[in-house]
Amino acid sequence: MKNICIQFFLITLSIITFSCSGEDGMDGVDGVDGVDGTDGVNNGVGVLVLSGDITNEDAAALIAENVGQNTHTLLIKGTTNLTTVDISAISTLAVLEIQENENLQSITMSNLISIAEDIQIVGNTVLESINFQGLTNTIGNFGISGNKALTSINLSNLTNAETLFFSTHPLLENLSFPSLVEIKNRLTVTNHENLTNLNIDLLESIGSLSIAQNEKLPALNIPNLENAFGVSVAGNLVLESINLPLLETTNAENRNSLVIGNNTNLATINLSSLTSTGSVSITNNSNLAVFEINTLVTASTIRINSNNNLTTASFSNLTSSNTIDINRNEALLSFNFDRLERLDSGFTITDNIALTALSFPVLNAIGNENSVTFSIRNNEMITNVSFPSLQIFGDNSSRSISIRSNSLETVNFNLLETIANFSIISSATLTSVDLSSIQDFDSLSFPSLSTATIDSIITRLVNITPMLTDKRISLRGTASAEALTNIETLRSNGNTVTIRD
């Protein structure tokens, strides 16, 4: 034993204690019932460290002699000769660290039931297998990362965990949690070049889920997940489907509560039970053609950007949100916000070159006293913009509506009463602009309009009471004689009216 301690094992006296029963064998005969007798009890040391050039045999002897009910921390660090560790004698630990062991190939802790604080298995370059088949729950951080030869992780009985982190195992093909029901904080599975199967079928509740940069993972299926603080699925190059059929809520305050991005082969997303979420971000999924969450009622942000093959986006039951951004979806033909009633901040809809119509039929209010955004730009195929229910638009002096599309034909804001600046830019001639309820504004600017449309706008403006003054109005087109007369009336009341052919 002395030779082992000299060559292979360092016990720091300040943190390791030995505790045995008896008082030097008070009633013992030849050691029976004494400290050194056959019936003596070894409660083990608190902290056990394996390091340096310790061998398998020496490690086994040290474990047998020093592990007991007092053992709460096991550190296996920087060994050069150790190839296998079997610590099946341990049932509970507070801390387990296995790091930077040059030749360690396998770890067996088949009787370990729980970890109270922290597990870190990191940077063991030839480690092939880890067996935690008895582990049922972990409290604190559980991290396995950077073990380049790892092919097997057995966590078959783990039911509850605090935080799980798995990263950078290029040979790992299967990661299975067949009994896992709850993760209080986070599960991260990232940067696995050959992972083809991820089994978390029984998971019902999680803090945050992050599945990222797993190059060969074909599907993410969590059929029993009901609640999550946040879900992020990003950079999984061959991922074809995401199936979360029972997920009902993610955290409303979380800016990353639902993020699905840069999954270049993704074709289907099933979120058929989701009713409430924070931010929804669907970006750079180049193969996704249809995205629907028709059960969703509230969301803080909707962001649909740069999905090159997306043709349809539907949120048919969404009633309120803070912000909507729909940008650079080259194939987008339509989206559905038919029940949206309120946007607390505003929206941006830009560079959707195939989009032909834009309609928010029951949207009543946009913005608040601090901010409001309304931008529709460079959607070159849009012919119709319709907001027939919009009455409340922000509550500050800078609130503006800007619409820019070179195919535009009709615009409807028939209930809008107050706006700071209203601007339409288009190379087309508009045949209808409905501002039939407008009462107060700073400026109105229109592109080429039909004569009938000019007549309609000017007739409305000249009949506003009290009479308009100090307003700026710019139009293009040919006005009728009656419209020209009304324009002069507006000018005589101190308004600036410009009309160009």
In angstroms, the Cα distances linking 254 to 250, 251, 281, 307 are 8, 5, 12, 23
How many angstroms separate the CA atoms of 81 and 103, rounded?
6
Residue 123 in this model has a pLDDT that exceeds 70: yes
pTM, whole model, 2 decimals?
0.87
E strands of 104-159, at which residues? 106-108, 114-122, 129-131, 137-138, 141-145, 152-154
pLDDT higher than 90, residue 496: yes
- For residue 398, the model assigns a pLDDT of 62
pLDDT at residue number 15: 37
CA 295 to CA 316: how far, in whole Å?
Answer: 8
Tell me how crowded residue 239 is: count the other CB atoms within 10 A of its CB.
26
Q: Is 460 helix (H, G, I), strand (E, B) or coil?
A: helix
Please, are residues 358 and 384 in contact by the beta-carbon 8 Å criterion?
Answer: yes
| pLDDT at 42 (0 to 100) | 66
Measured over the CA atoms of residue 438, residue 441, residue 447 and residue 449, the dihedral's sign is positive
CA separation, residue 92 to residues 11, 74, 96, 233, 283 (Å)? 21, 11, 10, 34, 44
CB 358 within 8 A of CB 336: no
What is residue 369's predicted lDDT score, i.e. its pLDDT?
75
Q: Give me 239's structure tokens.
A: 């991922």
264: CB partners within 8 A, 6+ apart: 237, 284, 285, 286, 287
Give the number of other CB atoms < 10 A from CB of residue 466: 8
Local confidence band at 68 (pLDDT 50, 70, 90 cut-offs): confident
DSSP 197: E
Using the predicted structure, report yes or no on whether residue 78 has a pLDDT greater than 50: yes
Q: Residue type for 441, please?
A: F
Nearest to 56 by CA among 77, 20, 81, 89: 81
Q: Which comes out higher in pLDDT, residue 31 or 384? A: 384
The pLDDT > 90 percentage for the chain reads 82
Q: For 25-66, how does the pLDDT look when each residue is reduced to its tens digit (9 = 90+)?
A: 344 444 444 444 444 556 889 999 999 999 999 999 999 999
> What is the band of 303 on the pLDDT scale with cuts at 50, 70, 90?
very high
Query: What's the mean pLDDT in 421-433?
Result: 96
Question: Quick one: average pLDDT of 288-300?
Answer: 97
Which position has the higher pLDDT, 492 or 15?
492
Is the model's pLDDT at 19 over the cut of 50?
A: no
Phi, psi torsion values for 2, nearest 5 degrees? -60, -40
Question: How far from 398 is each of 349, 363, 370, 393, 472, CA to CA, in Å?
Answer: 19, 21, 10, 11, 15
Treating both helix axes as pointing N-terminal to C-terminal, what angle do 451-462 and 481-492 enclose, rounded to 10 degrees? 30
Record the tokens describing residue 255, joined without a space.
């800016």
For residue 219, what pLDDT is reported? 98
**Mean pLDDT in residue range 85-97:** 91
Q: Which residues make Cβ contacts (< 8 Å) with residue 485, sequence separation at least 6?
A: none
Q: Is the pLDDT of residue 180 over 50?
A: yes
Q: Distances in Å between the alpha carbon of 170 and those of 173, 414, 417, 427?
A: 8, 60, 61, 55
pLDDT over 50 at 2, yes or no: no
Burial of 38 (0-12, 13-18, 19+ CB in 10 A): exposed
